[in-house]
Chain A
Amino acid sequence: MAPDTNRHVDQEELESYSMGRIPEEECVRLEEHLLVCDSCRKRLAETDLFIASMRLACARLRAGARPKKTPRHGRSSV
């Protein structure tokens, strides 16, 4: 049976896909949908960036690095 490729991809699916944790069957549907859906591609690009940055940051923090202090003017503080 052909996968339902019309349905948009939810955030959890995008995250699983970005991290390579998605089952093959679901991967088929998702990748076919991404071929034709601009908005889901944008959301995947955002998710990719977030995950790559978070992985690096987690590794750095565990290695004992500390975030650099940045001047408050013109920037938001956490």
Chain B
Amino acid sequence: MRQSGAGAAVRATCNVLAPQAGRPIPITGELTSWWEMSDILHFASGAQTSDEEPAVPAGETPAPSWSDLVERVRVGEPAALEELYLIFSKGIRFYLCRQLGPQDLDDKVHDIFLIITQAIQSGDLREPDRLMGYVRTVVRRQVAAHIDHAVHTRRHQTSLETGIVVRDRDADPERKAILHENMTVAMRILDSIPKRDREVLIRFYLKEQSPAEICREMELSETQFRLIKSRAKARFGELGRARLSHRIGYLQKLPHK
């Protein structure tokens, strides 16, 4: 009874937040895929253009009183459920989308909130101050379960030779197109920089050599190594923005129907 009560409470909260959908959706904007979001964020939000490292936000993210929030959720306070959802929904969504792609994202987020609130309301969360750690654990477990399920399904379908192909994220044409476009930008950058810098980037990003190894073998200081990477990243942002403004200009010239 208690569990179904928790589920109803979460659904009620979600309905408050997303009355039309009747299930959780992000408060601001719909995240459809990590690469799409990356594209939008990168080219629309003004990535760094200098040789400096991207700015880390100043200060810290203040943490609310987790034990207080947990206690209010435990007793079923609707505002506390809403607060829990507001604090964690975007982060959970981001993590799931990054790991599993955009398929059934709303349902997955909803399931995770059910698990969390049921655990709190049944007293299973033993350290309320470690709520963030608990949320992370639940999300990771759910991701692992989805991956296990996908692997099992794929094996089963292969063994039956039904001819049904389980969807492969890498085969997503939209993802392929966006990555290809960004890869072209990266290729132009690699083609334009000194051979030595290109070698550093290939060693780091493709061969996955450690920074220490690269610096030792190429006789670079750590600062020089970081500068080569940050310059390439800054140039990537510049070219991306130029491409975006070119597209916007083109779209604005199109006749309106």
Contacts and interface: CB of A to CB of B under 8 A. Distances in A.
A6 B246 contact: no
Given A42-B45, A52-B179, A74-B249, A35 B188 contact: no
Given A10-B56, A11-B54, A49-B35, A60 B91 contact: no
A75 B34 contact: no
Contacts, number: 158
Contacts of A76: 238-239, 242
Interface residues of A, number: 52
Nearest to B133: A32
A43 B53 CA distance: 12
Contacts of A35: 88, 91-92, 95, 132, 135-136, 139
Nearest to A74: B246
Contacts of A66: 187, 191
B202 A58 contact: yes
A68 B246 contact: no
B39 A34 contact: no
A6 to B, nearest CB: 4
- Central interface residue in A9, A51, A67, by most chain B CB within 10 Å: A67
Contact of B94 (A33, A41, A57): A41
Contacts of B183: 53, 56-57, 60
B56 A8 contact: yes
B235 to A, nearest CB: 7
A48 B201 contact: no
B188 A78 contact: yes
A6 B63 contact: yes
Interface in B42-101: 42, 45, 47, 53-54, 56-57, 59-63, 87-88, 90-92, 94-95, 98
B14 to A, nearest CB: 18
Interface in A18-55: 19, 21, 28, 31-43, 45-46, 48-55
A18 B134 CA distance: 22
B219 interface: no
Interface of A: 2, 5-12, 15, 19, 21, 28, 31-43, 45-46, 48-62, 65-68, 70, 74-76, 78
Nearest 5 Cβ contacts at the A-B interface? A57-B186, A35-B91, A49-B38, A78-B192, A53-B182
